[in-house]
Amino acid sequence: MTRTALITGISGQDGAYLARLLLDKSYRVVGLAPRRGSDMFWRLRTLGVADDVRIEYADLNDAASVQRIVAREQPQEFYNLAAQSFVGTSWEQPVHTGLIGGIGVTHCLEAIRQTSPHTRFYQASTSEMFGKIQAPKQSETTPFYPRSPYGVAKLYGHWITINYRESFGLHASSGILFNHESPLRGVEFVTRKISLAAARIKLGLQDKLFLGNLDARRDWGFAGDYVDAMWRMLQQEAPDDYVVATGVAHSVRDFCEAAFSHLGLDYQRYVEVDPQFLRPAEVDVLLGDPAKAQARLGWSPQTNLKTLVTMMVDADLQRLQSPAAA
């Protein structure tokens, strides 16, 4: 029997890579997305899967719309990837961020509980929940201390997932994913901002790149690797929570150096710090411990930072040189 998977946030980076992974495994994929005027599905087209995904329009703030689709589809798996996912914007839109990242998760779980309790649920948690870190390397047992409205909202979503698992016996798991990037990352994120600027500067289209804290350190992996961990969680007999990370941290400065040097450029000539890009409350270091995911899921990252950065810079260079294909 063909398995059906629902994906919220299917228009995003992770949603697109996950859709491709599931289609390759012969799933029937249904994407939930809000109605918007702009082109939402360019990532699905980039991966060549747009015509293979069925799109249903739903808003996670509207419990009835989510419940209607879950009741009709009776999916074997539900991946909740929807969020206002840009940390910087969460200070400007704290209520919206909280509604989608927190209450929206409850709407998904309640729809499953009431209409399709056999459905296995995945919640996209985040390393931003650790925030002001309480341990040098963060694992599933490290205390949380979020430092942004985004992190706070995601923490609600994380705990309500655990609560529904323990209260109602749902197969509900959370992936505490550390930073994961790709050529499909939005240009508002620092990694894509860097890769695009490096390509533009190489082509003479830009002179400078202005960033915030160059010394902030993150555990960066490839989104295409991380969606495989999501799928593996829902194949387990028992639900649980897992840190998904590379176990290696690099600074924003390191990312800049890798991106510019790939194009034969010295980042120090082009990158400048602009105070407007500093966060109200900075998270200095995030470094994950993926030992549990490696041991229980058999998962490990396949892409190192240099390969990831090269992939992103080359993709942006190609887009700029062939804009019609972007």
Both tokens assigned to 104: 């929206």
Contact predicate 162/129, CB 8 Å: no
Q: Is the dihedral of CA 221, 226, 228, 233 positive or negative?
A: positive
At which residue do the structure tokens 């200095």 appear? Answer: 284
Left if phi > 0, otherwise alpha if psi is -120 to 50, otherwise beta: which for 199?
alpha
Rounded to an integer, what distance in angstroms lies between the CA atom of residue 54 and that of residue 123? 21
H-only helix segments in the chain? 13-24, 42-46, 63-73, 87-90, 94-98, 104-115, 149-168, 190-202, 223-233, 252-262, 291-292, 305-321
Would residue 17 show up in a list of annotated catalytic residues for this protein? no
Tell me the DSSP string of 116-175. Answer: -TT-EEEEEEEGGGT-S-SSSSB-TTSPP---SHHHHHHHHHHHHHHHHHHHH---EEEE
- Active-site residue, 226 included: no
User: In the sheet that 4-8 helps form, which strands lie side by side, from edge to edge?
Assistant: 54-57, 28-33, 4-8, 77-80, 120-126, 172-177, 241-244
- Non-local (6+) Cβ contacts of 47 within 8 A are 16, 17, 19, 20, 184
**Marked catalytic residue, from 77, 128, 181, 257:** 128
d(CA 52, CA 241): 30
Name the active-site residue from 17, 27, 122, 150: 150
Set 8, 97, 119, 126: catalytic member: 126
Burial class (CB in 10 A: 0-12, 13-18, 19+), 235: exposed
92 counts as catalytic: no
Residue among 164, 5, 168 at smallest CA distance from 73: 5
Residues serving a catalytic function are 126, 128, 150
